[in-house]
A and B are shown apart, each in its own frame.
Chain A
Amino acid sequence: MRKRFQIGVLAGLALVASACGDDDDSAALPAAQAAVTTAAATQPPVTTAAPATTQPAAATAAPAEAPVPSRIVSLSPTATEMLYAIGAGDQVLAVDDDSNYPPETADKMPGLNGFEPNVEAIAGLEPDLVATDGTNPDLLSQFDTLGIAHWEGQAAVTFDDIYTQIEQLGAVTGHVAEAAELVGHMQSEIATVIDALPVLPEPLTYYHELDPNGFWSVTSDTFIGLVYTEAGLVNIADAVGEGNPYPQLNAEFIVSEDPDLIFLACTKYCGETPETVAARPGWDAMSAVVNGNVIPMDDDVASRWGPRIADYIEQVGAAVAHAAGVPAG
């Protein structure tokens, strides 16, 4: 999908702006497709049982004889975050250029590109495991040819996908207990947020802004959309209908829908702030702007499905509480 997306860019550059009509291609950073997660080639499949019930006992599932990888290359920013969060950071040898979290990864960027990875450069690092997001099947078959073990964590569709991926990485890297602990922590954090949500006569509506250059958004059919659904919110972009999870919305529509909340998910890369939104002509009278319910979010967290999604939903919960506390109008 990303590859197609880049081809789309090239076509655009070739002055045929008309060549790419498929909205799906254009906005999709988190390619929310099927979540078939394959375990690493060297490891037996990891348990996919509900993590809450498997607690520390899951430690027994750790592979006995297989050596734990100590030269991991991660080409997926989400996988990188997961590896560090379960204490496998020391085993990470190198990460791709987009793996900017946690900050320690800065020392481990040899210039690998997650979109167009250079297989020779990766092989030259002599990794004993490569973590990818599974969107590039050609790359995976090249790894197979070279005998390089790889693990795929595709874009999550549900929260369980995240927990499964964290547990798989825990099993693969020998950090089963930490992985279980992280999953438990995330689950309780998210449960706390959801329990604390105010009871409202009518659900609040929101607009999630992926990019202000054309008002790209997401529908509830995406993973990040699911996060908001969990927080009890209704997405104005769902009016677009199915089959277009990353639509480009019409400005008139957004303003006339007047959502209760506006989440800005292009703060780092586009520099959007509540102030820039208020300064847009015609937007100043919107309820979210007037009531201070325009919330800057972290672009990276919003486009990944890593451990920080628990903090994200916490932020959303706080925003909902604030919006619910403000009298309507």
Chain B
Amino acid sequence: MAQIDERSVWEKIADQLRSRSMWMLHYCTGCGAVELPPSMTSRFDMERLGMGSMATPRQADILLITGYLSAKTLRRVIYTYEKMADPKYVIGFGSCTINGGIYYDSYSTINRLDYYIPVDLYIAGCMPRPEAILNAFNTLMEMIRKGEANGWKRYKENYEWYKQNQIRSLGEVIVHDEFHE
């Protein structure tokens, strides 16, 4: 793990820039999406911190996963995560991503997001209030500056382990080229 934390001078400068300009992709199939409009609009205004929502995974830096994931949506999350450009950060939002929340014994949802993609930061709560969300973003900015938000490196390092977990849950994880099929 030692070499994961190592950064050159350029990467330290780059991390300063990355922490001040975080573009987010909302994966809002869960119910947590309802807490995002107040944190974007005039009361909490996340654009102050240089954050904005982006339309596609290619442009985004943060993947924000709000709430529970069924096995079907997990597949899409993995596709989306792998399409994002490095360095990328994942925020697990609400207790459903931590331990399943109220769906802990459901047959069709996953309980722990961290088994399938590396999560840099969790926001606990059901629902977390906008204050908690803004606090989490500040924490993530601090983590990026210190070089601690290196989930994308862990994903590469432990790819076999993540892949096994994904296959165990989904059966197969192949990115279909739907456009050319």
Bind each other? no
